[in-house]
Amino acid sequence: MKKESNLKRLLEYAGGYRYLAIASWILSALSALVALLPFVYIWKVIKEVLDVAPDYGDVQNLSHNGWMAVVFAVAAILIYIAALMCSHLAAFRVQANMRRSAMHHIVTLPMGFMDSIGSGKVRKIVYESSAATETYLAHQLPDKANALATPVGLFVLLLVFDWRLGLLSLLPVAAAFIIMSVMTGKKMQKKMEEYNNALGQMAGEAVEYIRGISVVKTFGQSVFSFRRFKESIDNYEKWVIAYTKDLRLPMMCYTTLVNGIFAVLIAAALVMTSGGVTNEFLLNLMYYIIITPIITLTLTKIMYASENKLIVADAMSRIDSILEMEPLPETNHPQHPKDNSVELSGVSFRYKDARRNALENISLAIRPGEHVAFVGPSGGGKTTLASIVARFWDVSSGSVKIGGVNVKEIAKEELMDTVSFVFQDSKLLKTTILENVRMAKPDASREEILKALHDAQCDDILEKLPEGVDTVVGAKGVYLSGGEQQRISIARVMLKNATVLILDEATAFADPDNEAKVQAAFSVLAKGKTVLMIAHRLSTVTGADRIVVIRDGKIEDTGTHGQLKDKDGLYAEMWRQYNKAAKWKVGVSNV
């Protein structure tokens, strides 16, 4: 099946505005032809002056021809402005529709999609790739239509007055066009993809470097300590230098040819006038020298349009990389969970392109209202296990059930209402605290939101803010600490009142005071709910109904804190190491 051209797909995104895009090309081409008419009147002006020389007072149509040249020049400008107005309206609609289409598709993808690809990369693809099409549609395509129409008119003009000089003018153009075609061919398309990859890698590593700048400053490190960032810069440097050297010779030849047409004409004139020069020949020569710079401008427009076409092709392929991702399948006959129990049966899961399973044959039954903690070494699969319960991903094999119903058979909206996830690094949007909390329940009243904030131990936060619950977070210097953001997020979860609660190291970034308040909020939040808690700080799980020890994607042991700490195993060793670390203090020697 033949793939649709990128231009056709862009016009599909334009919808009804596609006719404006087409109109812009027609108007731009018409502008190009009208812009050539002043040169005809310039030729008439020169002819009349040469005919009456040296009796210049005998000129009769000089003023008329001059004004006609001005009228057509202004008309060409106005027509071109109309073309750009049409193209910009179409381009803005295409850009908006591309972003809308991509974002609508993204919300259908698994929740784990953002973790796997990275929010920064998604933003770059959606916004920068769609923005690349705006320049192409708004400027490059009208300019290309203009540039393609110009040679047609020029060809007529060049051959009408003196076909010999006209053909000589076209010889350097033909050679320059061949060189341009080589520079903007398939090899260039591959180079453009490599360029965007190198630029994207460098941008991504720069973000990571900026995030770690505090570590760099604290320990007096340089950029060389961030090896991947330094390597991305070096790779980009090598690519740019190699690419520049590859294009150096053809670009020199191209520039020389398109700017040297007048030199060819002068050399030809010297040969052709060896037996004497006539007024007519001199007139035509002057005319061709005046008009040939348009050829240079035309070829340059075509070259930039061809280069931008490659940029758009790469941008479309990056947008497609998101649109081609399959959303999680939705059931046509949704079922409703009977209670808030959770059951995993023979669950295995492997991330895309991973060499081994992140989870291996896990079976676990959690009773309604039971509080279960997942502990184990980092990278063992704790967060992955919790994620598949919330259906951030679909399992590779086995099944996950909530209330006796496979999560695949529960409607997406009902599953999101049933399961709440409190992340270790909660984020708030740049809006009021009231609206941040209301996201969990759009129809909630102000009183319901204030009660949720009270239960989440947020009263002290609201008291210190200038406008209380109506304070905009992130505006005018109003920022909250990690622990305070966590409590606001807990208020959001309280308002949602889901029956299954997943806590992913929810107190990781809280100071002791915030941790105490977060724990108090959790004690209210967790009443009557099934709780799955992921923790590295073992003191937070001692009161759990059951602790599940996970290592290398497998369940190694289960039991209460009392049972596991007295048992020879991984948990007992982790508990000893935790207590040892908790008692450790920096010694101060007397000198």
Strands 397-402 and 371-375: unpaired
Tell whether the torsion through CA atoms of 169, 170, 175 and 178 is positive or negative.
Answer: positive
Whether domain 6-323 has CATH 3.40.718.10: no
Band (588; pLDDT cuts 50, 70, 90) = very low
Residue 36: partners with Cβ closer than 8 Å, 6 or more residues away: 150, 153, 154, 157, 294
Tell whether the torsion through CA atoms of 37, 42, 45 and 48 is positive or negative.
Answer: negative
Q: Over 70: is that where the pLDDT of 587 sits?
A: no
pLDDT for the residue numbered 589: 46
Nearest 5 degrees, angle CA 573-CA 578-CA 584? Answer: 130
3-state percent breakdown (helix, strand, coil) of the chain, nearest 5 = 65, 10, 25
DSSP-H helix ranges across 212-292: 213-218, 227-259, 261-272, 279-291
Residue ranges matching CATH 1.20.1560.10 in the chain: 6-323
356-391, pLDDT tens digit by residue?
888 999 999 999 999 999 988 888 888 888 888 888
Neighbours of 27 (CB within 10 A): 23
Band (20; pLDDT cuts 50, 70, 90) = very high
Whether domain 370-390+416-581 has CATH 3.40.50.300: yes
Q: What is the pTM of this model?
A: 0.61
Contact 197, 232 (CB under 8 A): no
Contact 50, 283 (CB under 8 A): yes
CA distance 494 to 486: 12
Q: What is the DSSP letter of 539?
A: G
Tell whether the torsion through CA atoms of 180, 186, 187 and 189 is positive or negative.
Answer: positive
Residue ranges matching CATH 3.40.50.300 in the chain: 370-390+416-581
pLDDT for the residue numbered 1: 41
SS3 assignment, position 550? strand
pLDDT for the residue numbered 2: 45
